Structure 1
Amino acid sequence: MNALAKTAGGIGCAVVALPLLAALVIAAAFGSLLPGGGGASAAPSAHATSDIPAPMLALYRRAAPECPGLSWTVLAAIGKVETDHGRHPTMVSSAGAVGPMQFLPSTFPMYAYPVPPGGRYPPTPWDPVDAVFAAARLLCANGAKDGKNLRRSIWHYNHSDEYVNQVLKIADEYAATAVPATGAAGKAVAFARAQLGTPYVWGGDGPAEGGFDCSGLTKAAYGAAGITLPRVAQAQYQATPKVPAGQPLLPGDLVFYGTPGRIHHVGLYIGNQQMINAPNRRSVVRTEDYRWKDYLGATRPSNQGTSQ
C-alpha cells in the first residue's frame, strides 16, 4: 500500500569511510528516523478521478499536507467508506456522527481549529472543508504524522481492524500505478525484489557476506544491470546523474537521505512512493515508503551507462 509507512529504525548503512565506532555513533543519532513528508504527492489513478467528485479530490489533496507524511489517498478512502464522498443522502450515522467525514459533534471541535481557508466560521462537521481538514488532524494526532503508525491512526477513526484494511485497500486503488521499470532500471529493480527478506549486514555486498547494507544492495542491483556504482551512499550520490527537483521519480531511481555532504542512507525507488532498501541491523531487505523526513533527492543511474 503506497501510503503505509513503516518505522525505519537506525540507519545502519556504510555511508562514509569512518571507523566502525564513529559509524555506530552516527547510526545511533539517526535511530528514531521515520518515513514521512510529501503526503499529497501521489498522483490519482483513473479510478480515483472517476470515483471522487473533482471538488472533493482537490480538497483531499489540499488537506493532506496538514499532516506531514499523510497521503491524500487515505483521507479520500475514509471519505469513500464513510459517506461515498458526501453522496450519502443524510450523512447521519446511527451513532450520531454527521457530515461527509462522519464526526461526532463532541469530537469535532478538538480538530476543527485553525479554520482552514474556505472553511466556515464557526467550523462545522457538515462543511466539507472543515471536515476533511479535521480528519487530517485527527489522523495526525493518532499516529499518521511522519508515518509513525498509520494503521493506528485509522483505527482511531473507527475502532475496527476490518475498517482499517478496507481504508488501506481503497487508498491503494486511488493511487496511480507507476510506470514499469525497463532496461537497466528494470534489471536493478528485479534484482532488488529478489533480495527481499535477505538479512541486513553492515558493509555487506551480498550472500558472500551474509547480506547487504543499504549501499551494498544498490551497488549489487545496478551491478546486475551492468552499471558499476561506488560502494558507499555518499559516493553513489556524487557519481550518478541527479533527478531535477520536482520531476517525478521513476522505478530504478536511487533515493538519498541526509545532506549533500553527509548522506547516511540510500534506497532503490520502485514506484507508488515505495523503495526497496536495507534499513538497519534490526531488519532485513524490505519494501517501505521512501518519504523519510530528511529525504534529500534522487539520482538516475540508468541515464549514465557505466559509471566509474
Structure 2
Amino acid sequence: MTSRVRIALLIGLAGVVLVTLVMAPMLMSTFPAFLGAGGGAADCVDDTFKVTNVSDTAQSDIPRDYLELYKKWGKKTGVQWTVLAAVGKRETDHGRSNLPGVKGGTNYAGAAGPMQFLVSTWGGKAKIKIPSKFNGYASDGDEDGWADVYNPADAILGAAKMLKRNGAPGDLTRALFVYNHAMWYVEQVLQIARRYAVDGTLEVPPEADPACDPPLVDAAPTEVVKKIMEYALAQRGKPYVWGGTGPHGYDCSGIIYMAYRAAGLSIPRTTFGQWPFGAKISKGKEQAGDLVFFNAGPGTSSDNPGHVGMIVSPGKMIEARCTLCGPIKVTTYRDRPNIVGYTRPLENPTVLEQLKRLGLT
C-alpha cells in the first residue's frame, strides 16, 4: 500500500462521520487466488464496447457483459469503472456466486443481487416500478421500466450512484466505507481495482460527459445567474487550491468569487466575507446562484462558517471542497451535516447597484 493510500485511509477514519449502510459482503473462495493473480442518461454514452484501459487480469476475470456495464455506468456517473468492477468482484464474483441472495431472495443480512444492496437501501423492494415513490438507489439501467436489484444493468447503475453520492471518484475511502462499513473491505476493493487498471493506478477521472449533465444552466432564474453558473460549471475537474482564484485551481470561496466576476459583479473574496454579504434565505427557498455555508474548517463555528458552495439546482451545489476531496465537482448538500444557512449575494445593495450600472436590472 502506498503512503498516499495510507494517509487517505487514516483521514477517512478520523475525519468523516459516516452513516452506516452495511452492505454485507459475500466471502468468495476465489478471492485469495484472485489477489495473487498476475496481469497487468444512456443516450449520452458511447455504447460501442471498447476494451481500452483494461488490464489482462480484468479481461480474463470479468464477464464481457459485466465489463461493458461497469465501463458504461462508470463513464456516465464519473466513478472509476475499476472500482465498480472491484465491488462486483468482492461481493458476488460478478454475479457468478451461488450463495444465497445473489440470484434470488436475500442473504442473512438482507442483501440481494450482484452488487449486494440491502433491499432497504434499494427502495424497500427488490423490484420497483419506475418512476416510483420509493426512495433509495433503485435504478433502471436497461430502461425496461423496472428497477430490479437482481438485474446487473440496474444494480451496477445503482452502485455507481451510491458510490458517487458518498464521495467517489475523489474520496474512494469514504465511498467504499459507506458501501460496506469495514476498513478491510475498503482495502480489498481498492486492491482489486488496481489490478483491473492497466497501469495499476486509480486516478480521479474527468467529470462525466457534459452532454449527459442535466440542463442546469437552462434552468437558471436570470441571465445573470446563467453567466455565473456557466463559469463555475466550466471549472469542474480542476483541483482544489487553497487561496486559489484560477485559472488552474480554486478554493471554496475563490471559485464563487470568480464566477460572479465573470458576470461583471464584485463580491467578497473569502467565505468569512461572503457569509454576511448576501441576503439570508430560508431553507427550502434557495435557488441557483445562491450560496450554502457550512460549519467546517479550523476556527469556524455555527455563526462563522468556513466552507461554502454555490447552488446550481435544488439539492445540488458546485464546490471546491479540500485538497484530498478530489476535483471541483457538483455534489449534493441537503444530506450534508453542519449547514449554517443560505444567502443570496444578488440581493446585496452593492450588487444591486452594480447590476443597475450594467443595465441588468
Q: TM-score range by the shorter chain?
A: 0.3 to 0.5
Alignment TM-score, normalising by the size of structure 2: 0.40
Alignment TM-score, normalising by the size of structure 1: 0.46
